[in-house]
Amino acid sequence: MHQYYQTLRLLASQASISATEWEWFVNATTVKHIPSGVTIVQSDHEVYHAYFCTNGLFRLYYTLPDGREYNVAFTLENDFATSYGAMISGSTSMYTIQAMEDSTVIEIPYTALQVLMDRSHNWERFVRTAVERLYIRKEERERELLYLTALERYQAFLVKYPGLEKRIPQYHIASYLGISPVSLSRILHSCD
């Protein structure tokens, strides 16, 4: 089981989290295998857990009023998949998080996270820096949508999610870029 915790253990060490503080975390969390297509967070539902993806792939998507789905982000290996705002505010999630491959996550109950932060300055720091990374990504995404052309957004996608273009259907990339699959196809041919 401990193989799944390796990357998080490294991140925790960098935040000066001690062996004892780390054990608290391991004891409070669960490794879960999520088959492709299954959702771990459902829009309009409350959120009681954060997830760290140790392998596999997730998409975070909004369901628009007309029924279309809009991919707002992806989570690859060694990254958090979470509806953080809903979890901490007790409101319902605005988006759904769904496995796009058979995946494995570490499930972190929010109540456990609160206890860890209460008991340990180091865990408080760990969470603070994790939230900062979430925030910076939202700023970057905002900037991309304001400044970049569709082609530039595609290039930014390739850099942000290395190799992902080979793992998911093109229509999911188009949805993330905010363009139609036909427009994406045109961009890809212009790159040949």
164 lies in the binding site for a second copy (CB under 8 A): no
- Closest CB to a second copy among residues 54, 98: 98
Verify binding: residue 89, a second copy, rule CB under 8 A.
Answer: yes
DSSP per position, 17-64: --HHHHHHHHHH-EEEEE-TT-EEE-TTSB--EEEEEEES-EEEEEE-
Contacts of 13 (CB under 8 A, 6+ apart): none
Nearest residue (CB) to a second copy, 155 versus 185 = 155
Output the smallest distance, CB 108 to a second copy, in A: 16
| Part in contact with a second copy (CB under 8 A); list of ranges 4-12, 19-27, 132-140, 163-171 | 132-140
Q: Using CB under 8 A, which of 35, 37, 85, 90 touches a second copy?
A: 85
Candidate residues 28, 127, 156, 188; the one interacting with a second copy per rule CB under 8 A: 127
- Sole binder of a second copy in the list 136, 158, 165, 170 (CB under 8 A): 136
Answer for which of 22, 24, 62, 171 binds a second copy (CB under 8 A) is 62
Measured from the CB atom, the residue of 82 and 104 that comes closer to a second copy is: 82
Q: Using CB under 8 A, count the residues that bind a second copy.
A: 29
Smaller CB separation from a second copy, 135 or 170: 135
Task: Give me the least distance between CB of 166 and a second copy, in Å please.
Answer: 27
Give me the DSSP letters along the chain.
Answer: -GGGGHHHHHHHHHTT--HHHHHHHHHH-EEEEE-TT-EEE-TTSB--EEEEEEES-EEEEEE-TTS-EEEEEEE-TTEEE--HHHHHHT-B-SSEEEESSSEEEEEEEHHHHHHHHHH-HHHHHHHHHHHHHHHHHHHHHHHHHHH--HHHHHHHHHHHSTTGGGTS-HHHHHHHHTS-HHHHHHHHHHH-
- Does residue 142 touch a second copy according to CB under 8 A? yes
- For a second copy, the binding residues (CB under 8 A) are 62, 64-65, 70, 72, 84-85, 88-89, 94, 117, 121, 124-125, 127-128, 131-132, 134-136, 138-143, 146-147
